[in-house]
Structure 1
């Protein structure tokens, strides 16, 4: 394994919690109806297109045209987005900020809509501490497309073989490896400490 010189963090479910059910448990109290809403209407794939750069205006219009009787619920997804990210994973954040304080080169690479990421930065100021970030919604590419890893490496001068990527999605971990990076699958802060220690990143 090559020496690690660059550390790249994902954000959602690595540094901050994300769960659309949090506001929607109030908006659509019936669990079966709520599950159906996420399965048929505001789906994961629909939301991913905002991460790729589609505007919320266009995203909402698309669904409202198909499901006019669910307009209020469709608009609620963006309206109450902040409730979906209610807290940070303090132990993971401590690992990241500790690495920055040690002088390590830390950046972030995230699938995130451009406007909600700006909101997240206001909510969680530690997101401003790394050297920089590639936001999928700003560049029009999403993980696990190899192109977004290559763009991040180019923009921030990373040497792929000397870069470690941390993500909760195994598909995104594999995407990084295909781009020539080293990568670890995030399952919790304790395991991350173990993984980084094995790579010589943490003492």
Structure 2
């Protein structure tokens, strides 16, 4: 089988760590964080931002529904640059190795418009994609089939010529259902080996 024509990266937990619970553990303590996350579905609220909702308006509006947690919920907006990250340097190195080899690299990420603007300043490597498909700008999100179809239509790379990595199994399954080649990301070492197996990199290229 010949090498894929392009590599598609998820961002959260592939290139940048995304563990909001860790931030809140440090900020308000683990016990209080568990109560917060049990009583307020912060990930669902974030999904609204990922699908195009205004960042501040969505988070602050949701906070008003939880008077006890108002300040903590607002932190999702006010402290987002500390909630996300740090970068995963080995994954960034693999992204750059692919670019050095002339392999087109795309992003396909559930990411709000406002958060992505913050992220681009903190992590300039996010400007290095040949194409970036960001859910907030597209008003659709993984694992919905329509976002994969939109990428295919825009880049015009056949599904079986795309190689996609993501840390979430449901996102991987949705891509596989469309005929994409996939790698379920659990760390940069395994991803690097997968890139070698696909014929995209050599072993000596791995960080």
TM-score in terms of structure 2 length: 0.91
Give the match for residue 73 of structure 1. 72
- What do residues 166-185 of structure 1 show as CA deviations (whole Å, max 9, x unaligned)? 10111111111122211110
Give the match for residue 184 of structure 2. 185
Q: CA RMSD in A?
A: 1.6
Moved over 4 A (4+): none
Per-residue deviation, 1:24: 1.9
* Consecutive unaligned residues in structure 1, runs of 5 or more: none
Matches within 5 A, 1:72-91: 72-91=71-90
Give the match for residue 8 of structure 1. 8
Equivalent-residue separation in structure 1 for 2:59 and 2:188 (angstroms): 36
Equivalent-residue separation in structure 2 for 1:2 and 1:141 (angstroms): 31
Give the match for residue 158 of structure 1. 157
Are the equivalent residues in 2 in contact too, given 1:23–1:80 (CA < 8 A)? no
Equivalent-residue separation in structure 2 for 1:60 and 1:49 (angstroms): 9
Are the equivalent residues in 1 in contact too, given 2:5–2:161 (CA < 8 A)? yes
Give the match for residue 102 of structure 1. 101
Deviates more, 1:155-164 or 1:63-72: 63-72
Per-residue deviation, 1:61: 4.6
- What do residues 69-91 of structure 1 show as CA deviations (whole Å, max 9, x unaligned)? 32211111110111112321111
Are the equivalent residues in 1 in contact too, given 2:160–2:181 (CA < 8 A)? yes
Count of matched residue positions in the alignment of Structure 1 and Structure 2? 202
Equivalent-residue separation in structure 2 for 1:181 and 1:89 (angstroms): 24
* Consecutive unaligned residues in structure 2, runs of 5 or more: 203-207
Are the equivalent residues in 1 in contact too, given 2:63–2:71 (CA < 8 A)? no
Equivalent-residue separation in structure 2 for 1:23 and 1:5 (angstroms): 38
Equivalent-residue separation in structure 2 for 1:190 and 1:118 (angstroms): 29
